[in-house]
Amino acid sequence: MRHKEKNIYRPIEAEVLDVVTESPTIKTFKLRPREELTFRTGQFMEMTVPGVGEAPFTPSSKPSVKDTIEMTIMEVGKVTKEIHRLQKGDTVGLRGPYGAGYPLDDFAGKEVLVFGGGVGLAPLRSLMYALFDRVSDFKKLFFRYGAKTPGDIIYKEEIKTWEKMKEVDYRITVDNGDDKWKGHVGLVTTILDDMKLDLDTAIAAVCGPPIMMKFGTFKLLELGFKEENIHLSMEKNMSCGLGKCGHCRIGPYYACKDGPVFTYDRIKDLHGIWD
């Protein structure tokens, strides 16, 4: 039987073109879908390891690149363990893109803080690329990133080039340094105080582990960021991505469909947002 209508559960086949080890637990996979598949920055996809399962990830690559997609993935569970075994030439599945993504047009003319922790830099790398594509639209870009140790910093070489850009105010930190580390040591919330920005309009895009999201958001509020200008990537159990299976509901929203990026004012009163 062949339907004219699209089967929403079917993944598109994609080839693994390259695997880059970013840290002891994180790898980036460059994928080439066999059918057209594009996304807006901040939207996510379900990635399938055939016969094992799927899991949601937000692409870390440049949305304006149409033929390949990169996913930066930390090994934390059943599916990601299998993903980490993938090698060049292997086949995976992709479904999506889902969700709303970052409203870049609303960021125009404003200062934008890209604020990440650990593997949370993955979707933010895509956002940085999308911002660079139209960098003159924004007043200034601030990049703040923290990792547990120097070895946990991802995209090491790449983010160094951001440091040199005149449009970017750049600071990174680690929770614990080592002998070679010359940079800042301290939680990611300790590198936010020196930003000079217009707090009535400044935008913040935050992504990281739940604890960093929580205290990072509180710190931004303390600094004077407006609730409606803080864009949070919510990690929930997004199974179908279609607003049907029910798993990722938070209050009146489905993270998969109404998010996964929410401004803080929309979700601040809802139960379990930081868990």
Residues that bind another protein (CB under 8 A): 1-3, 5-13, 34, 48-55, 76-80, 93, 209-210, 235-237, 239-240, 242-252, 257, 271-273, 275
- The least CB distance from residue 64 to another protein, in Å, is 24
Q: What share of the chain is helix, strand, coil (3-state, %, to 5)?
A: 25, 30, 45
- The least CB distance from residue 77 to another protein, in Å, is 3
Q: What would the two tokens of residue 252 be?
A: 């009146």
Is the four-CA dihedral 127, 262, 96, 275 of positive or negative sign?
positive
Is the Cβ of residue 225 or residue 254 nearer to another protein in the bound state?
A: 254
Distance CA 60, CA 67 (A): 14
- The least CB distance from residue 120 to another protein, in Å, is 11
- The least CB distance from residue 13 to another protein, in Å, is 4
CB-based contact 207:116 (threshold 8 Å): yes
- The least CB distance from residue 220 to another protein, in Å, is 21
CB-based contact 45:98 (threshold 8 Å): yes
Is the Cβ of residue 5 or residue 157 nearer to another protein in the bound state?
A: 5
Is the Cβ of residue 221 or residue 242 nearer to another protein in the bound state?
A: 242
Is the Cβ of residue 112 or residue 260 nearer to another protein in the bound state?
A: 260
Distance CA 153, CA 66 (A): 27
- The least CB distance from residue 76 to another protein, in Å, is 5
Is the Cβ of residue 11 or residue 42 nearer to another protein in the bound state?
A: 11
Among 96, 94, 83, 132, CA closest to 112: 132
Is the Cβ of residue 22 or residue 54 nearer to another protein in the bound state?
A: 54
- The least CB distance from residue 121 to another protein, in Å, is 15
Is the Cβ of residue 95 or residue 171 nearer to another protein in the bound state?
A: 95
Q: What would the two tokens of residue 269 be?
A: 């009163």
In the chain, where does DSSP find H-type helix? Answer: 78-83, 104-107, 121-133, 156-163, 210-223, 255-258, 264-267
CB-based contact 184:191 (threshold 8 Å): yes
Other Cβ atoms less than 10 A from the Cβ of 251: the count is 12
